[in-house]
Chain A
């Protein structure tokens, strides 16, 4: 997992609408990146739904939130609509898992990202990172708020 103090690797991923999203798009604001295994799987649905519920509070702390998985833009679009997400989901689809790998959040043996959280500050430096011990464990939104308060 990427360490605090490290320069955040570039994003350059398509969002659910096919628009490329870069770290610079969030310049001056903090960015929480939530790497997660797969759209539509039960645990990921729970995780992202909870983050959606507190999205306003994340934004009120001068931060944005994006989700990243190996699913395609089209899949992300359907998934967002199904569970009512309004924050962007980025497609680490081709080359598969490249950005997740750059953040140390990719599980080669499984072919998807580990459930991980990264906080990048407005200058593009990683301030905090967290990886769950197993993909079945879900990092609570409380950890995001701990990081936003401390970082």
Chain B
């Protein structure tokens, strides 16, 4: 991901209209790698918490070569339907054994999406730029591992699931 814009320190950006945000409650932002086992484990614990949860792409390609493909696929799904994006995202993290291309196509068909469009979108510059936007904001905010989370501009602790559980309980 070579670019010319700054990668120097910057606060984590607040969720905007382009972000993927789900749920209601205190706002939390998480940086995830869809091919990361720790992310999958954490997701199972946080997906249904009472939070306004913003998920961002943080593919670590050198360590997990499949990761960029999965993030681009998720973003390509989002172009067709935000609801489908969440279904796809949940599904990839719930079943990491089925993430080859035929498995992705099956998910896309099951979601009633246009497979040809998915195939071209997932390789598009726009999708790469959208994934890269998240990755760069994570680097600038000092993300050094996945999953990482932020709330109220502050980095959450290493036990992200516990931190988000505490955050969700604060709203009650």
Contact = CB atoms under 8 A, between A and B. Distances in A.
B61 A46 contact: no
Interface residues of A, number: 25
Contacts, number: 72
Interface stretch (A12-20, A48-56, A119-127): A48-56
Interface in B1-53: 1-4, 6-10
A50 B135 CA distance: 10
Contact of A142 (B9, B62, B63): B9
Nearest to A136: B158
Interface residues of B, number: 23
B25 to A, nearest CB: 28
Interface string B125-153: 00000000001000111111110000000
B60 interface: yes
Residues of A contacting B: mostly: helix
A52 B139 contact: no
Interface of A: 43, 45-47, 49-50, 52-54, 56-57, 60, 83-86, 138-143, 145-146, 149
21 contacts: A47-B144, A49-B60, A49-B62, A50-B139, A53-B139, A56-B2, A57-B7, A83-B62, A84-B62, A84-B63, A86-B62, A140-B9, A140-B143, A141-B139, A142-B8, A142-B139, A145-B6, A145-B7, A145-B8, A146-B8, A149-B6
